[in-house]
């Protein structure tokens, strides 16, 4: 055991040096999530994407004859060879990441190509375009497939429990019967809508190669239509141009994407919160199974704390607080300032938090155990007071001037006599109540709660039929 402990300590020692809980706890190096996210969100990935942008810009300039073909080949070759460690070495000297990137490329190319590295480009041309590409690929390859997988799993639960009766709850109190599948279908639809919003927002992420103030000033001196070069470069990268930019891309596209991602985490937090309440001892309609060697409580071994659900809500608290960053970064003085130089780097963490929330929510879905018997028991525990609305409507249609008061009186008299609402209605001497008791709708209700779930099953089925093909399509697109 001591030998195994020492080996484990050595393999995890790096974690205790990390300053961010995202790195040390939630997306640990080598973990499944880390492997999924690192190609897009790591510092190394930023360098790699910036190099691809530099190469594309050089190729577009070469296409117009502004850079010699040999120099273009040299720059492209260098961009394939330069590493993040190379750039880091130069940044320690220059204190500027883009200059370090340029110097790392210049170090590799021959002397003839050196003058053409980063020609006509600004730092924002490179960094903004690279960020748009990274987030586009991250959402397409990772986040959208993860959300799709989770939502497909929820659809399976919807179908499985499309007939599982459950009492609806409003304001924390028993309302009217639904099915458990119906309650899940709402979250399927909300997640599907968030998924589509993310996909749409990704398409609006744009790049730029328009120079220090966005007007192609210098480039226009050497090319009759400088916008052609920008279009060529960004078309190669698979991203669209801005209609107009300053030195930086318009910030609203990133803001819209961030809001879509954070609101997706909000939907997951709402689902987790509802499920956490259903695990309460006195409700007991579901449980989340432990995974592996997890413990329920450090002090009380009998407890099965729904920590995975609470974890999702906790991550949402961080995410919705951080969404203020892209709102703040909407403002840049005149054509450019550096008030977003630090803040913009943290926007990427929103996407990491979203991935963590999806991961925890997926674990909850995999481990959920639904207690159908308890759901039915809770449904029946309040008797037939859930029928108060249809009884009220029947009385109103019969001309009762104050059906709310009548129903409240029926409930009161029923409680005093130990009867339910329908029995109190049947025994009432008041004329309209006697008529209402024989109304076909009220007679139908007397057969049981099964007849009072509205269109819960049909709506559940319609939601699943709507989203399953869309979700499968997103999964296939992400896989390719």
Domain segments of the chain as ranges: 33-116, 130-207+256-378, 383-451
pLDDT (tens digit per residue) in 50-90: 999 999 999 999 999 999 999 999 999 999 999 999 999 99
- Between 291 and 303, whose confidence is greater? 303
Secondary-structure breakdown of the chain: helix, strand, coil percentages, each rounded to the nearest 5: 70, 5, 25
Count the neighbouring beta carbons within 10 Å of the beta carbon of residue 225. Answer: 12
Fold of 33-116: Fumarase C; Chain B, domain 1 (1.10.275)
Q: Confirm if 199 and 474 have CB atoms less than 8 A apart.
A: yes
Q: Confirm if 335 and 213 have CB atoms less than 8 A apart.
A: yes
User: Please, which pLDDT band fits residue 4 given cuts at 50, 70 and 90?
Assistant: low
Give the integer Cα–Cα distance in Å for 337 and 320: 26
Measuring CA to CA, which residue among 84, 85, 203 is closest to residue 144?
A: 203
Give the integer Cα–Cα distance in Å for 347 and 118: 26
For residue 88, give Cα distances in angstroms to 55, 251, 344, 352, 419: 19, 27, 20, 23, 78
The tokens for 427 are 């025994």
Architecture of domain 130-207+256-378: Up-down Bundle (1.20)
Whole-number pLDDT of residue 31: 87
What SS3 class is residue 439?
coil
Residue 448, pLDDT above cutoff 80? no
Residue 268, pLDDT above cutoff 90? yes
Question: Cα 175 vs. chain centroid, distance in angstroms?
Answer: 30
Whole-number pLDDT of residue 327: 93
Residue 292, pLDDT above cutoff 80? no
Indicate the average pLDDT of the chain. Answer: 91
Residue 297, pLDDT above cutoff 80? no
Whole-number pLDDT of residue 1: 45
Whole-number pLDDT of residue 265: 97
Q: Torsion over CA of 264, 267, 268 and 274, rounded to 10 degrees?
A: 180
- Between 406 and 449, whose confidence is greater? 406
Q: What is the mean pLDDT of residues 359-377?
A: 95
pLDDT (tens digit per residue) in 163-222: 999 999 999 999 999 999 999 999 999 999 999 999 999 999 999 999 999 999 999 999
β-pairing, 206-207 with 173-179?
unpaired
Q: Is the pTM of this model over 0.75?
A: yes
The tokens for 423 are 């029995």
pLDDT (tens digit per residue) in 405-447: 999 999 999 899 988 999 999 999 899 999 999 999 999 888 7
User: Please, which pLDDT band fits residue 324 given cuts at 50, 70 and 90?
Assistant: very high
DSSP state of 115: G
pLDDT (tens digit per residue) in 335-360: 989 898 889 999 999 999 999 999 99
Measuring CA to CA, which residue among 261, 279, 274, 292 is closest to residue 356?
A: 261
Whole-number pLDDT of residue 55: 98
Q: What is the mean pLDDT of residues 284-300?
A: 74
User: Please, which pLDDT band fits residue 151 given cuts at 50, 70 and 90?
Assistant: very high
DSSP state of 28: -
CA dihedral sign, ordered 275, 276, 277, 281: positive
User: Please, which pLDDT band fits residue 276 given cuts at 50, 70 and 90?
Assistant: very high
pLDDT (tens digit per residue) in 97-144: 999 999 999 999 999 999 999 999 999 999 999 999 999 999 999 999
Least confident stretch, 20-29, 244-253, 352-361: 20-29
For residue 171, give Cα distances in angstroms to 174, 175, 363, 394: 8, 9, 28, 25
Q: Confirm if 199 and 136 have CB atoms less than 8 A apart.
A: no
Give the integer Cα–Cα distance in Å for 79 and 246: 26
User: Please, which pLDDT band fits residue 480 given cuts at 50, 70 and 90?
Assistant: very low
Measuring CA to CA, which residue among 88, 86, 102 is closest to residue 54?
A: 102
């Amino acid at each position: 055991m001591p030998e195994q402990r020492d080996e484990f300590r050595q393999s995890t020692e790096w974690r205790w040096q990390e300053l961010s809980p995202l790195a040390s706890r939630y997306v640990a190096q080598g973990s499944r999530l880390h492997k999924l996210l690192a190609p897009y969100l790591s510092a190394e990935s930023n360098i790699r994407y910036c190099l691809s942008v530099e190469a594309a810009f050089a190729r577009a300039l070469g296409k117009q004859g502004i850079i010699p073909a040999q120099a273009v080949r040299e720059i492209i070759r260098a961009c394939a060879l330069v590493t993040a460690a190379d750039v880091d070495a130069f940044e320690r000297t220059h204190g500027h990441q883009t200059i370090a990137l340029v110097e790392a490329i210049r170090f590799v190319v021959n002397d003839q190509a050196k003058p053409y590295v980063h020609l006509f480009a600004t730092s924002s041309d490179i960094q903004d375009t690279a960020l748009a590409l990274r987030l586009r690929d991250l959402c397409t390859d990772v986040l959208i497939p993860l959300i799709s997988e989770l939502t497909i799993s929820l659809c399976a639960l919807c179908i499985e429990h499309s007939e599982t009766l459950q009492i609806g709850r409003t304001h924390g109190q028993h309302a009217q019967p639904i099915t458990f599948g119906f309650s899940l279908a709402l979250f399927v639809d909300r997640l599907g809508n968030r998924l589509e919003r993310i996909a749409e927002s990704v398409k609006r992420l744009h790049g730029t190669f328009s120079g220090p103030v966005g007007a192609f000033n210098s480039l226009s001196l050497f090319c009759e239509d400088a916008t052609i070069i920008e279009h060529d470069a960004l078309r190669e990268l698979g991203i669209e141009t801005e209609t107009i930019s300053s030195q930086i891309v318009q910030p609203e596209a990133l803001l819209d994407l961030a809001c879509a991602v954070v609101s997706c985490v909000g939907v997951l937090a709402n689902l987790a919160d509802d499920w956490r309440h259903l695990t309460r001892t006195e409700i007991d309609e579901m449980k989340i199974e432990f995974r592996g060697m997890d413990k329920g409580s450090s002090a009380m071994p009998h407890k099965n704390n729904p920590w995975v659900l609470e974890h999702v809500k906790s991550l949402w608290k961080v995410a919705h607080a951080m969404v203020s960053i892209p709102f703040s970064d909407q403002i840049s003085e005149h054509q450019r300032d550096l008030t977003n130089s630090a803040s913009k780097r943290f926007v990427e963490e929103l996407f990491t938090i979203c991935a963590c929330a999806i991961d925890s929510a997926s674990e909850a879905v995999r481990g959920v155990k639904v207690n159908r018997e308890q759901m039915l028991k809770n449904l029946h525990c309040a008797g037939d007071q859930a029928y108060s609305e249809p009884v009220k409507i029947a009385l109103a249609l019969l001309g009762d001037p104050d059906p709310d008061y009548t129903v409240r009186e029926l409930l009161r008299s029923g409680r005093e006599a130990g009867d339910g609402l329908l029995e109190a209605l049947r025994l009432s001497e008041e004329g309209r109540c006697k008529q209402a008791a024989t109304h076909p709708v009220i007679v139908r209700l007397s057969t049981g709660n099964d007849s009072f779930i509205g269109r819960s099953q049909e709506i559940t089925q319609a939601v699943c039929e709507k989203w399953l093909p869309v979700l499968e399509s997103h999964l296939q697109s992400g896989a390719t």
